[in-house]
Structure 1
Amino acid sequence: MEEITTERVVIIGAGLGALYAALNLAPRPVIVISPEVLGEGASSAWAQGGVAAAMDINDSPEKHALDTVRAGAGTVDINVADMVTNVAKDHILALTRMDTPFDRTEDGGYTLSREAAHSFARVVRVKGDQAGFEIMAALIKQVRQTPSIQVLEGTMAVELLKEGNRISGVVIEDANMPCSNQIRLTTSVVLLAGGGSGGLYALTTNPPRIRGQVIGMAARVGALIADAEFVQFHPTALNVGEDPAPLATEALRGEGAILVNKHGVRFMEPIHEDAELAPRDIVARAIFEQTQAGLNPMLDIRPIQGENVKMRYPALFEACARNNIDPIKAPVPVAAAAHYHMGGIATDTDGHASVKGLWVCGEASSTGLHGANRLASNGLLEALVYARICAQSIVAETPQIIESPQLDVSFEASSEKHNDIEAMNQLRQTMTDFVGVLRNGDGLREALQHIAVLEESQRTNISFINMCATATLIAVSALLREESRGAHERTDFPKTNKLAEKRSQIYLSEALDIRAEISQDTS
């Protein structure tokens, strides 16, 4: 394997957290490992709602933190919630200085949307449902103009390397060549910002490459994983047969869109006092139950007032047009889809993972902010806050490097082949069938047996093994949490257990031991 040594900070991922961290590290030299062309394939670019921040004069960070804690169903780290919400406004202003075109009111203030479980309208948006795309566009422009940042587009990280308890490098390969040689990139500082795990499910809103690889990569070198069982299912993915499923932003319900079934019944009103704006886990389960009952849940945007609704929500109307649906005339079919992973690599308040030399920000991390159920539009906020924190921590704790040569990286075709399409489809269906919106012990044990068999069938495919590691961590953590809380719903343990009101922590080695015991017991 070819080896290249660098003093640059290696950032794995190219979404909001990765690019914002790279900019905050400047002029410290960094290299960004991006599987796609910048702006394509990152979950951040697909985010629709916006960034949550207390910008209204009647709102406050304290109220934002309280909403975060309430939505998180008892397992939010209150200190983290206080810290993140207190600096939220600073990051909105920083993005504004980078020319992010946030929607503005006639008097020049920020247009604010109210989303589920927020007590105020506090989601700062861009062009209705284009927040992620536009924020990313502003960051990409800045990155392209920053000499200290080198971006390796079309490159994928597949494995972390460790000596003792410290990161020593990362293995990279061509992201677009079916079979390429691998390169060992030797480094002592790695920032993981490569997204979550939603793509491990057959029905998801995540970009195709976001399938838990980064979490699995860290877990395989011994990083502690927290809250893995808490996977958020977005209530209103468009149920139109696309993979990934297009998203109907929560801001639509904030403006007055309602949920109905095929009989025209508004089914959320008897379930929760906030109806369509109840916490996401509650709405997702209600939609899932309507789907299971054959009642075809739909989102009706016709109650939204204003002639420019089409202009305010272009992503929704583009997706509907592709599928010959006119949401002005009829409700849109929706389903609950895997959307965001609250769990991930456990980090402290400085963004450190448990392995030295490894920092994490964004959805791959588990900071304690989201608890069992992420408050809407806190995802982009967390990525921004911890990207800066990680950058500041790296600068403070590692030797100062002002100049480092750019890397000359090239790949060649390899004879080794990985035929993992069928295995991937089976893994995603397994997660949807047994580790989805509703779970039970028997199903979780069956899922773990399937995952073990699939992993064994792809022993030389490191990327798939990373995915199986994350899938195993989710399923085992869900099995161990014998209660229902937030996004984690056990039909065999339907009640919330006050004694279990704490974050879960697990190492991959522990999860694999449990998986092996289950497989042995059933063999």
Structure 2
Amino acid sequence: MNPLFDQRRYLIPFRSGLLPQIFTGVLVIGGGVAGLRAALAAAERGAEVILLTKGPFEQTATAWAQGGVAAALEPGDTFESHVQDTLTAGAGLCDRDVVQMVVEEGAERVRELFEWGMRVDAGDDGKPTPGIEGGHSARRIYHAGGDSTGAEIQRLLTERVRAHAAIRVFEKCFALDLVTPSDEPGSPVMGAITHHPRYGLQMIWARSTILASGGAGGVYRETTNPPQATADGLAMAYRAGAEIADAAFVQFHPTALYLAGAPRLLISEAIRGEGAHLVDTSGHRFMRDVHELGELAPRDVVSQAIVRQMHKQGGRHVWLDCRHIERFAERFPGIASRLKQFELDPQRDAIPVHPAAHYTIGGVRTDADGRTSVPGLYAAGEAACTGLHGANRLASNSLLEGLVFGDRAGRKATNGNGFTSGGGGAPSSPPVPIVSDIRPSDHAELDLADVRSSLRSAMWRNAGLVRNGPRLTDLAEMLGFWAKYTLDKIFDEPMGWETQNLLLAGAIIARSAAWREESRGCHVRDDCTGTDDAFCAHDAWRRGRDEPTRTPVGEALVS
């Protein structure tokens, strides 16, 4: 990775003492399921909380999530079955203790949602009716509105956060960087410098900071993620000295709508759970030749099978055949409505689909309570890497992870760090003065839109579904070139900051993928086609370090 990526500690120059000062006990960065649940957990334990979101709550990855939330609640289902399904999907890289904890506590967190008033899909008897999705051996996926589970969880948790007297919400507020008393990795996080379109730059000082800022799907040209998924949390954590683990693992959802000029609309796994078929250009159901679970195989298996089938037949997509599913529009109203915008009727037309970047499995390295390698900093949800997903995430475990780790991180963030039972732990004055001195660059300029477009295309082509060493080496050189003319600049608006974050995230992903000389889960290399026991470990990268820290599977990610 080009040394330029390790040289920039902050995105902008500033003097903390000259900016407006805001104080809180716990700062939560991110407004999806993990951030909302973390804010509630911290506030319930007496902390003063600020929750900031980059965009509106309706634009989080949680709000966009069509699939359900997995929990072993039904008679005949067991925690152990859910654990085993997760371990199988994770291809040998899951930490079993973490999986066990999430499955068991997750059941309680889902019951909690039901008690709080989640509008879960139910049968005639009023009881929740779970479905089945890829990789699961039992019907344990709970949905809302057929294909609007994430939006319903977002609504429910957002309402509770807004109603809590101890939580202040800063909406449409961009977190530029985590602040530390020195630039050395390991220096404790004391809050963040943020930008609000109305109030400008602000210093938010906090005894504990929780990153729940989502993933890095925006680094790829083809993605199902919302536009604000630009790896901001991953990038700011890396600049602050936190370790980033398992970055090579990016999950590609098998079925995104593939139409020229159309966004890559996710076609929920729940549709395959209800019997939809994947067929090639000749109408052949090729997944039956690939895996005993057919279309319900784990996502990495299905995505790779689609790519192989396209290469074999020379097409640009395969087809998802839902025409035999009765009452499609009633069962999946959101998807049916969106498909109608493109004159597609799933009861009449097969849907053209192609894999797209969907979920960032790697992230800020944490332990089972969300603690990172940097004091004062916690992470939860897609921004974190906990050891739960291993090398490939099991369907519908992401909302579950956000609920469990959001709750755990929120509770842990209120332990110690100067918290008091009465005052919520907010500092009363700035702990230290912080100065970021960045000189204007004399280098030539590149158009930001061009850099962003080229970056996303290069990542898709060279660090996408199939990778190899030479291409990853070339990709690193491309990213270094763009970095030379982008990371040296000082920008004053989110487009520039996001582009700088995307470049850094792309470089981290490419470096991890080049290091991992094997194929495992959703990381596939055509020059290293099998798994290698030498890489049955978590790789963690930190600013200023050329080699990763290797943690064997099953050992604590953060000691």
| TM-score, with length taken from structure 2 | 0.86
Q: Does 1:158 align with 2:176?
A: yes
Tell me which residue corresponds to 1:467. Answer: 502
Q: Does 1:167 align with 2:212?
A: no
- Opposite residue 95 of structure 1, the aligned amino acid is L
Render the CA deviation track for 1:373-393: whole Å, top value 9, x for unaligned: 000000010110001101111
**Whole-angstrom CA distance in 2 between matches of 1:135 and 1:371:** 25
Specify which of 323, 346, 349 is matched with residue 302 of structure 1.
323
**Whole-angstrom CA distance in 2 between matches of 1:15 and 1:110:** 23
- Opposite residue 145 of structure 1, the aligned amino acid is A
Structure 1 residues 91 and 331 mapped into 2: Cα distance closer, same or farther (>3 Å)?
A: same
Specify which of 22, 39, 47 is matched with residue 39 of structure 2.
22
Quote the offset at 1:244 in angstroms.
4.4
More moved, 88-97 vs 125-134: 88-97
Q: Does 1:215 align with 2:234?
A: yes
- Opposite residue 482 of structure 2, the aligned amino acid is L
Specify which of 281, 289, 292 is matched with residue 308 of structure 2.
289
Structure 1 residues 280 and 132 mapped into 2: Cα distance closer, same or farther (>3 Å)?
A: same
Tell me which residue corresponds to 2:360. Answer: 341
Tell me which residue corresponds to 1:431. Answer: 459
Partner-residue secondary structure (3-state), 1:110: coil
Tell me which residue corresponds to 1:518. Answer: none
Partner-residue secondary structure (3-state), 1:8: strand
CA contact (8 A) 1:258 1:303 kept: no
Which ranges of structure 1 fall in alignment gaps of 5 or more residues?
408-415, 514-523
CA contact (8 A) 2:541 2:547 kept: no
CA contact (8 A) 1:230 1:488 kept: yes
- Opposite residue 167 of structure 1, the aligned amino acid is V
Tell me which residue corresponds to 2:68. Answer: 50
Specify which of 407, 424, 429 is matched with residue 388 of structure 1.
407
Tell me which residue corresponds to 1:410. Answer: none
Quote the offset at 1:511 in angstroms.
5.3
- Opposite residue 283 of structure 1, the aligned amino acid is V
- Opposite residue 481 of structure 1, the aligned amino acid is R
Partner-residue secondary structure (3-state), 1:157: strand
- Opposite residue 4 of structure 1, the aligned amino acid is Q
Specify which of 93, 97, 116 is matched with residue 79 of structure 1.
97
**Whole-angstrom CA distance in 1 between matches of 2:524 and 2:543:** 23
- Opposite residue 162 of structure 2, the aligned amino acid is R
Tell me which residue corresponds to 2:514. Answer: 479
> How many residues are matched?
499
Which ranges of structure 2 fall in alignment gaps of 5 or more residues?
1-13, 429-439, 490-495, 549-559
CA contact (8 A) 1:159 1:462 kept: no
- Opposite residue 462 of structure 2, the aligned amino acid is F
CA contact (8 A) 1:74 1:502 kept: no
CA contact (8 A) 1:14 1:33 kept: yes
Quote the offset at 1:506 in angstroms.
1.7
- Opposite residue 460 of structure 2, the aligned amino acid is T
- Opposite residue 434 of structure 1, the aligned amino acid is N
Partner-residue secondary structure (3-state), 2:354: strand
**Whole-angstrom CA distance in 1 between matches of 2:543 and 2:526:** 26
Specify which of 100, 115, 136 is matched with residue 97 of structure 1.
115
Partner-residue secondary structure (3-state), 1:204: coil
Quote the offset at 1:462 in angstroms.
4.0
**Whole-angstrom CA distance in 2 between matches of 1:507 and 1:283:** 33
**Whole-angstrom CA distance in 2 between matches of 1:279 and 1:268:** 11
More moved, 291-300 vs 188-197: 291-300
Specify which of 248, 252, 255 is matched with residue 236 of structure 1.
255
**Whole-angstrom CA distance in 1 between matches of 2:67 and 2:475:** 33
Q: Does 1:4 align with 2:21?
A: yes
CA contact (8 A) 2:247 2:512 kept: yes
More moved, 395-404 vs 481-490: 395-404
Tell me which residue corresponds to 1:422. Answer: 450
**Whole-angstrom CA distance in 2 between matches of 1:181 and 1:455:** 26
Quote the offset at 1:198 in angstroms.
1.0
Tell me which residue corresponds to 1:516. Answer: none
Specify which of 478, 483, 487 is matched with residue 455 of structure 1.
483
Tell me which residue corresponds to 1:277. Answer: 296
**Whole-angstrom CA distance in 2 between matches of 1:15 and 1:55:** 24
Q: Does 1:142 align with 2:160?
A: yes
**Whole-angstrom CA distance in 1 between matches of 2:252 and 2:158:** 29
- Opposite residue 28 of structure 2, the aligned amino acid is I
CA contact (8 A) 1:473 1:511 kept: no
Tell me which residue corresponds to 1:257. Answer: 276
- Opposite residue 332 of structure 1, the aligned amino acid is I
CA contact (8 A) 1:171 1:182 kept: yes
More moved, 80-89 vs 368-377: 80-89
Quote the offset at 1:291 in angstroms.
3.5
Tell me which residue corresponds to 1:517. Answer: none
Q: Does 1:361 align with 2:389?
A: no
CA contact (8 A) 1:435 1:475 kept: yes
Render the CA deviation track for 1:452-500: whole Å, top value 9, x for unaligned: 1112221224433222221111111100110100000000001111332
**Whole-angstrom CA distance in 1 between matches of 2:120 and 2:96:** 29
Quote the offset at 1:241 in angstroms.
3.8
- Opposite residue 345 of structure 1, the aligned amino acid is V
CA contact (8 A) 2:322 2:347 kept: yes
**Whole-angstrom CA distance in 1 between matches of 2:260 and 2:448:** 22
Quote the offset at 1:297 in angstroms.
0.1
Partner-residue secondary structure (3-state), 2:100: helix
Render the CA deviation track for 1:92-143: whole Å, top value 9, x for unaligned: 1111122110111223332111111111111111111110001111111111
Render the CA deviation track for 1:233-254: whole Å, top value 9, x for unaligned: 0000111245641111101111
Quote the offset at 1:3 in angstroms.
3.8
Structure 1 residues 418 and 313 mapped into 2: Cα distance closer, same or farther (>3 Å)?
A: farther
RMSD between aligned alpha carbons? 2.2
**Whole-angstrom CA distance in 1 between matches of 2:545 and 2:262:** 33
Q: Does 1:133 align with 2:154?
A: no
Quote the offset at 1:510 in angstroms.
3.1
Tell me which residue corresponds to 1:114. Answer: 132
Quote the offset at 1:419 in angstroms.
5.1
Tell me which residue corresponds to 2:529. Answer: 494
Tell me which residue corresponds to 1:411. Answer: none
Quote the offset at 1:169 in angstroms.
2.7
Quote the offset at 1:181 in angstroms.
4.4
Quote the offset at 1:88 in angstroms.
1.7
**Whole-angstrom CA distance in 1 between matches of 2:274 and 2:401:** 24
Quote the offset at 1:37 in angstroms.
2.2
Quote the offset at 1:317 in angstroms.
0.9
CA contact (8 A) 1:166 1:188 kept: no
Tell me which residue corresponds to 1:268. Answer: 287
CA contact (8 A) 2:468 2:526 kept: yes
Partner-residue secondary structure (3-state), 1:163: coil
Structure 1 residues 235 and 92 mapped into 2: Cα distance closer, same or farther (>3 Å)?
A: same
**Whole-angstrom CA distance in 2 between matches of 1:512 and 1:500:** 14
Tell me which residue corresponds to 1:521. Answer: none
More moved, 129-138 vs 394-403: 394-403
- Opposite residue 174 of structure 2, the aligned amino acid is M
Partner-residue secondary structure (3-state), 1:115: coil
CA contact (8 A) 2:217 2:224 kept: yes
